[in-house]
Amino acid sequence: MAKHKGRGWHGRLLAAGLGVTAVAAATSVWTAQADTTGTRQPKAPVSVPDVRPVAVDIAHASDRGARGVNITIDDGPDPTWTPQVLQLLKDSGVKATFCMVGTQAQAHPDLVKAVVADGHRLCNHTVSHDTTMDKKSEAYQSQQILDAERMITKASGGVRPQYYRAPGGAFTPYSRQLAASRGMRPLGWNVDTKDFEHPGVDAMVATVKNEITNGPTVLFHDAGGERSETVAALREILPWLKQQGYSFGFPVR
C-alpha cells in the first residue's frame, strides 16, 4: 500500500484542525477552572456510546467475497464534487465507502447526511488529513482520530464511521488499536487510481482494469482539488466492472 505524498490543501486542513484542537483545549481548561462558588467542582461523567471493538488489522477484502469490489471515496465531502459522485453512484446502483475529513464533514453536514441517506458507509479520515500521522505522538494521533469521529458522527446526525483510513496510509500500531477499539476497522486499499495527480481519465480507467486482480478496494477522491476526471473515470469504470462479473460491496469489518 503506497503512501500518498502530502498535497497543498492538506496544509490548510491541518491548520484548521489544529485550530479546532486549540479551541477544544482552551474550553476544557476554562471548564475545569470555572466555578461561581470559588470551589473547584468535580467534572460530570462523560457519556460514551456503546461501541463494539473490531479487528485491528488493515482491511482490504470485500464483504461480497472474491468477486466483490469496494469503491472508496476520500477527503470529502465537497460541495462541488460529492453531489456529482453521489448522483453517479445512485444512477449506477452502487454503494461506496466515504472516508471523510473531520473539518470537511463539520463544514458540510448536509452532504454527510446525503451520503448516509443513500446507503453508503462512513469512514474516519482524521481531522485534518496529516500524512505524517505515523511520525506524531500518540496524543496527537488520538486527537486526530477521536475528534474526527465526533465531527463526522455529529454531522451525520448520529451515524458513526465504521472504518478508519490513515491519511496516505500512515497507520501506526497505536492508531489501528485505537480505531478498532472505537468500532472503526482500519481500512487500506488495493488499487490506487492516483486521481489526485490528475493522470487523465484513460490512465485512471486503465489502472483499475489492470490492477483490480490485486484486490477489491479501489481508491478515489471527491475533494482536495478538481475532480472532474474522477467523475468521468467512475462513469466508465463502474459499468465495466459489472460487465466483468463483479459486484459492489463494503470492506469487511
Angle between helical axes of 138-156 and 109-117 (0-180°, round to 10):
70
Q: Which residues does the annotation mark as catalytic?
A: 74, 221
Q: How far apart, in whole angstroms, are the C-alpha atoms of residue 172 and residue 24?
A: 25
Q: How far apart, in whole angstroms, are the C-alpha atoms of residue 173 and residue 190?
A: 20
Q: What is the DSSP letter of 161?
A: P
- Residue-wise DSSP of 22-83: HHHHHHHHHHHH--TTSSPPPPPPPP---------SPB--BTTGGGEEEEEEES---TTTHH
Q: Using alpha carbons only, what angle is made at residue 244 by residues 239 and 248, rounded to the nearest 5 degrees? A: 65
